[in-house]
Structure 1
Amino acid sequence: MMSRRKGTRKAPKPVKQAYVESLHRTRRRGAPATDPGEPISMARRWGAVSTATVMLLFAFAGVVTAIVEQDNGNTSNARGAVIVAAIIAPVSVFLLALISRTPAPLRIASRVAPAAMAGFLLLATLLREPATAVVTAFGIGGAFVLRMDEGVNSRSRRIWVVGVLALLTLVAYRFAPDVTIVVAPLLPFAGCAAADMATERSVSIGRD
């Protein structure tokens, strides 16, 4: 008799039962992507920019390698370098969104990365140089991918800073193309973070 009493389970209370059922429903549907809501720190913002920039450097190196190999007549090597660059470039955009805690990072990266790559190809063809193209295309892409905290960041300021950097890159390439090629992929995402720093500083000054 005692063992039977110990083995029987009590019926859950109504509140507990409702909680358990809602928990099971959430697990079946899959937890939706949530926005933490709190503005991210500047350290995390620069961490996201640094990681994404490293990947963009590898992708841009693939593009430069493809150009050199194509000029030397090595079509197969050039094609392979382009494929590698096309694989790595979207990863850089995704990491920028993921590490900066942008809501739905995969979704926004899947939209912005192809647009940035298409813009890069178009500008590189028109300008006949890849440095200004990478700053412009991926800088504008980064302005939409890097996490936006309302009232703290300004997307228009990001694009303005990227535009200034692109103009400086265009001029610098005419005088020092080798140096500009090396520096160019460091600028797009960093320009967005620098714009955020300026915006946050102006906001904090306004509050004081």
Structure 2
Amino acid sequence: MHFFSPSGKSFSDSYDTATKTLTVGSNRRQDEDQPGFDSERNQQRRHSVTALVRHPENRAISDPQLTVQKGDAQHEEEITTLVAGHNAVVSAYNAGWTNPNLYDDFLAGSQAIQRGIRKAGVKRLLVVGGAGSLEAAPGLQLVDTPQLPAGWKPGALAARDYLNILKQETDLEWTFLSPTIRLEPGERTARFRQNLEQPVFEE
């Protein structure tokens, strides 16, 4: 796990006390195991989560701490309405890896979410981006290397370019999270290592 935050806050800083969090894009691969919702941990810390999804009928989880809400991340005013009353937003928005307009739609949706949160008066934003903005070497980001698979390029470029946009944000307390370069199914260990702008590799 890698994080970039102008405030110096890490991923966990928003979650040390009870929060009401809205998640966007909780169908992404990072969340396939119980779609991003850790019931036991949320109950222990008294978290409540609203999952914003396009198709709530596809979500099978039933938990008193979780509310599944239909919504479209591309609609700024809808985001503003739905996020009101929450303490933080976790955005794992992705316009779809098979979407031929992935790059433009990703940037449009991500910025709509950002503007909607700002209008709602919610300060804390955590963005789950990609590994493309991490450095393969000093001054060289992974997205700009020839080793990056062509199929990953549009999404990786969009996430990197959105990070550059986000760096201009001064009203929100934001953190940009980059997962490991490769995500594979495996046993949950509840342990992770973190870094800033360089990848973390398996020891």
TM category (shorter chain) comes to under 0.3
Structure with the largest fraction of helix: 1
> Could you say which structure has the greater relative contact order, defined with CA pairs below 8 angstroms and 6 or more residues apart?
2
Question: TM-score normalised to the size of structure 1?
Answer: 0.25
User: TM-score, normalization: structure 2?
Assistant: 0.26
**Larger relative strand fraction:** 2
